[in-house]
Structure formats: C-alpha cells, structure tokens
C-alpha cells in the first residue's frame, strides 16, 4: 500500500488530493443526513373522509417528530460547523484526520435512527440514552480531531484564535449536555428530554465565557464564526 492510500507505515501525511476528497465526502454525508431526518415528517393515514377532529389528532401525532427533526437538524448543523471550523485551515492530510472524520460521518449518517427512536418513544429512558450516547461519541471525535490537527501541525495559524477557543468551549459544552442525557431519562422519565434545551446554552457558551473574561469580539466576528 502506498502513502497515497493512507498507509500508516508509509508516512503519516497523505500527499495526494485525499484532503479535498475527504471534505467533499463530509459535506455530502452531512447534507444527506439532514435530508434523511425529514423522512419521519409524514401524517398517519386518516382516510379520505376524515373529519377535522381526526386530522387534528393526526397532526398532534406528528408534533414529536417535528420537534425531534428540528433538534436533530440543529445537532447535525452544529457538528458540520464544528468540523468546518477545524478543517478549514488544515493544509495537509493525515491518516488520523481521515479516521476520525469517517467515524464522525458514520455517527452523523446513523443519527436518523436515534432521532426516530426519540420521537416515537420519548417516554422510554433508553431512547434518550441512545440519542445522548451517539452524540457524546460524535462530540468526542470532534474534540479528538481538533487535538490531532494541532498536535501534528496540520493547519495554518487560525485568523482568529479567540474564535477557535470559543468553538472548543462550545464543543465541550455540547458533550456535557449529551452526556447528561444518558442518565436523565432514567432519573426524570419523559421530563429528562428537557435537558436537551441546554444545547441552546452550550451553543453560546464560548461567547458567554469570553465575555465574562473580557475578551473582545474580533472584527468580522460573524464571518469568523462560519
């Protein structure tokens, strides 16, 4: 096997266009996963002569699927943003980057299953535990990818180090929230899913921490957060 095929014994760096192909594959998988999440959004069969009450009841049955779709779409989008932030300054490929990205993509592609499980069986503790566990591993892989990019010097210096620090804090915050999901269903029953509301806080945690520390927002902040 040659270095261009990612053989660890032939060198850590991959010298062909593997980085570009990996990024293209990543964007494709993220896009497909987001689309697949919408497959659960369908009304139950109420028949051709259903009255207003039957239609309203059918819509009510879809509400959990809609909420879970919005949640999982947000989660996948957050993973994509984090992966984009990590990889956009990477200039050299590495077998660890490939391995960790493929692991992340595997979990993202599988997310429609725990998402559907959570929508259909929100009261079952195992549903929230599975959802949380899948996303804990995904968040851990993102943090490991971030570490390896730095450890192996694969990226140019970020234009805004404060933005990179902010992103790291947010990734750790998301990991903690998903870890709390695992016991929350068993401790609080159907109310345990409310722990996912904390994602709204963890997604802004980096900004909150930096403001508390007095770190000023860099010019072009919105551009750097993309």
- Per-residue confidence (pLDDT) for residue 46, from 0 to 100: 67
Direct distance between the N- and C-terminal alpha carbons of the chain, in angstroms, rounded to an integer: 37
- Count of CB atoms situated within 10 Å of the CB of 163: 22
For residues 182 and 188, give the distance between their C-alpha atoms in angstroms, rounded to a whole number.
Answer: 11
Q: What is the 3-state secondary structure (H, E, C) of the chain?
A: CCHHHCCHHHCCEECCCHHHHHHHHHHHHHHHHHHHHHHHCCCCCCCCCCCHHHHHHHHHHHHHHHHHHHHHHHHHHHHHHHHHHHHCCECCEEHHHHHHHHHHHHHHHHCHHHHHHHHHCCCCHHHHHHHHHHHHHHHHHHHHHHHHHHHCCCECCCCCHHHHHHHHHHHHHHHHHHHHHHHHHHHHHHHHHHHHHHHHHHCCHHHHHHHHCCCCCCCCHHHHCC
Q: How far is CA 53 from the centre of its chain?
A: 38
Delimit the domains of the chain by residue range.
Answer: 13-224
d(CA 87, CA 154): 9
Give tens-digit pLDDT for 172-197.
999 999 999 999 999 998 899 999 99
- 44-89 pLDDT tens trace: 776 666 677 777 887 888 899 999 999 999 999 999 999 999 998 8
How many residues belong to the chain? 226
Instruction: Supply the pTM of this predicted model.
Output: 0.84
**Per-residue pLDDT reduced to its tens digit, 203-224:** 888 888 888 887 766 544 444 4
116-135 pLDDT per residue, tens: 999 999 889 999 999 999 99
Q: Are 114 and 131 in contact (CB under 8 A)?
A: yes
Angle at 223 between CA 218 and CA 226, to 5 degrees: 120
């Amino acid at each position: 096997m040659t270095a261009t095929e990612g053989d660890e014994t032939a060198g850590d760096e991959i010298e062909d266009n593997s980085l570009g192909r990996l990024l293209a594959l990543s964007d494709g998988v993220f896009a497909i996963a987001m689309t697949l999440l919408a497959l659960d959004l369908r009304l139950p069969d109420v028949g051709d002569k259903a009255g207003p009450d039957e239609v309203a009841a059918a819509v009510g049955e879809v509400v959990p699927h809609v909420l879970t779709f919005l949640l999982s779409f947000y989660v996948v989008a957050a993973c994509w943003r984090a992966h984009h932030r990590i990889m956009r300054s990477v200039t050299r490929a590495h077998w660890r980057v490939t391995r960790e990205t493929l692991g992340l993509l595997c979990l993202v592609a599988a997310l429609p299953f725990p998402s559907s499980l959570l929508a259909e069986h929100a009261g079952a503790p195992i549903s929230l535990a599975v959802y949380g566990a899948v996303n804990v591993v995904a968040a851990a892989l993102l943090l490991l990818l971030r570490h390896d990019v730095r450890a192996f010097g694969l990226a140019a210096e970020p234009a805004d180090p404060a933005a990179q620090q902010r992103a790291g804090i947010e990734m750790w915050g998301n990991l903690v929230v998903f870890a709390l999901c695992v016991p929350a269903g068993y401790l609080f029953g159907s109310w345990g899913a409310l722990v996912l509301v904390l994602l709204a806080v963890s997604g802004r945690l980096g900004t909150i921490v930096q403001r508390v520390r007095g770190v000023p927002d860099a010019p072009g902040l919105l551009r750097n957060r993309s």
